Amino acid sequence: MYSLENIARIVLTVALLLVAAIIHEVAHGYVAHLCGDDTAKEAGRLTLNPARHLDPFGSVVLPIIMAIAGGFVFSYAKPVPYNPYRLKNRRRDEVLVALAGPASNLLQAVVGALCFNGAWALVEASNELYFSGPVVLGLTGMQWLLTALSTYVWVNLMLAFFNLIPLPPLDGSKVVCYFLKGDALTRYYEVQRYAMPILIAVLYLLPRLGIDPLGAYLDFFAGNLYDLLLGM
């Protein structure tokens, strides 16, 4: 049975994931715009208005289910449309558009970490660690602020490094294609056909067998960077 505090934490995590995912998608569209493709702009998707980006399942239902189940939590917004044929330099610009999403998440993580460390410094300076302010669901206002900021850093790092995995529809697949040619590229396209089964196996099946390469990957990159950012 979940307590009100646990429910509040799940809602907070899902809401912050949604913010991070929306900015991620807008970043794709904005860089495409800078590179000559106005498809996203013409579709009215270069906006932070959630109504333009919400995917009922990917933005709300999926992250809630994953949060309740525990462990890795993922969310996605509606992909921002773009037309690679309108890019000024398609080969180069496709990579830039793909990297824009993870880069936006890394930037959000840095901003969140700066705010967290600033708030933490205020708490330490006050010599009233966690014991002042209104109490909401068992936590003070400052505790909720620190929780929100640290969670925002974490979800952005998770989104950044998860999206860099070189399997479609994730952004890392576009980066890999840039460096492959000829037979190597052909073989990679063949592997891409099995991308979704591979992702499902890595996300859900292998961990049940005690094998968790995704968890190890995210712990190494997102986890270590999280510790570094919140300890700076």
Each residue's pLDDT tens digit, 179-218 = 888 888 788 877 777 777 787 777 777 777 888 888 899 9
Among all residues, which ones are annotated catalytic?
Answer: 25
pLDDT band at residue 132, thresholds of 50, 70 and 90? low
Number of domains in the chain: 1
For the segment 95-128, what is each residue's pLDDT rounded down to a tens digit? 999 999 999 999 999 999 999 999 888 877 776 5
Q: Are 31 and 102 in contact (CB under 8 A)?
A: no
In the chain the beta strands, taken as DSSP E runs, fall at 135-136, 139-140
Query: What is the C-alpha R_g of the chain?
Result: 19
- Tell me how far the alpha carbon of residue 70 is from its chain's centroid: 17
**How far is 9 from 25, CA to CA, in rounded Å?**
24
Average pLDDT over residues 162-188: 86
Q: How far apart (Å, rounded) are the C-alpha atoms in residues 158 and 161?
A: 6
CB within 8 Å of 183: residues ≥ 6 apart: none
More confident residue, 16 or 179: 16
Higher pLDDT, 21 or 204: 21
State the amino acid at position 69 in one-letter form.
Answer: A
**With bands split at pLDDT 50, 70 and 90, how would you rate the model's confidence at 139?**
low
**Residue 232 predicted with pLDDT over 70:** no
Backbone dihedral angles phi then psi of residue 116, each to the nearest 5 degrees: -60, -50
Structural domain including 201 reads 4-230
Using pLDDT thresholds of 50, 70 and 90, give the confidence band for residue 33.
very high
Give pLDDT, residue 222.
95
Q: What's the confidence (pLDDT) of residue 2?
A: 66
The per-residue pLDDT for range 51-70, each reduced to its tens digit, is 888 888 877 777 777 777 66
Cα(220)–Cα(127) distance, integer angstroms: 34
Q: What is the pTM of this model?
A: 0.87
